[in-house]
């Protein structure tokens, strides 16, 4: 992969991964997907130089979103992670503020919200 604006989507729901991939593809962003935290961490290790943003589901079986976040930050403390959850932003902010996440995307979200949020975080340094 040559592009340095790859977005890694880690979500256990196949329908979510497919929808997010389709939306981001239409915007011209290359996407990698992982169905679990373990797979996501492996993909991030392999493609770290290209991955500009990780969209991480908080509620996953096996390795939780929080555990996945901690391991991603162990690989690269500067990793940009956008948490995605059905929980409210207030609930999530309280739990994850100290973990240094880039932002939050509350589920369910529509295509426009996804695109705007990703654009916002890709342009931040």
User: Architecture of 6-123 per CATH?
Assistant: 3-Layer(aba) Sandwich (3.40)
Q: Which of 107, 19, 101, 10 is nearest to 62 (CA)?
A: 10
Selection from 62, 19, 5 nearest residue 39 by Cα = 62
Helices (H) and strands (E) in the chain, counts: 5, 5
pLDDT tens string, the chain, 125 residues long: the values are 445 689 999 999 999 999 999 999 999 999 999 999 999 999 999 999 999 999 999 888 889 888 999 999 999 999 999 988 877 666 666 666 667 777 888 888 899 999 999 999 887 65
For the entire predicted model, the pTM comes to 0.89
């Amino acid at each position: 992969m040559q592009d340095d604006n790859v977005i890694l989507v880690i979500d256990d729901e196949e329908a979510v991964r497919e929808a997010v991939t389709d939306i981001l593809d239409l915007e011209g962003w290359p996407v990698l997907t992982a169905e679990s935290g373990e797979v996501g961490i492996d993909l991030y290790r392999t493609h770290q130089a290209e991955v500009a943003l990780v969209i991480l589901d908080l509620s996953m079986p096996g390795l939780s979103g929080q555990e996945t976040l901690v391991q991603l930050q162990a690989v690269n403390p500067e990793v940009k992670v956008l948490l995605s959850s059905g929980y409210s932003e207030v609930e999530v902010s309280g739990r994850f503020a100290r973990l240094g996440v880039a932002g939050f995307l509350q589920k369910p979200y529509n295509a426009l919200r996804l695109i705007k949020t990703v654009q916002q975080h890709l342009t931040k340094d």
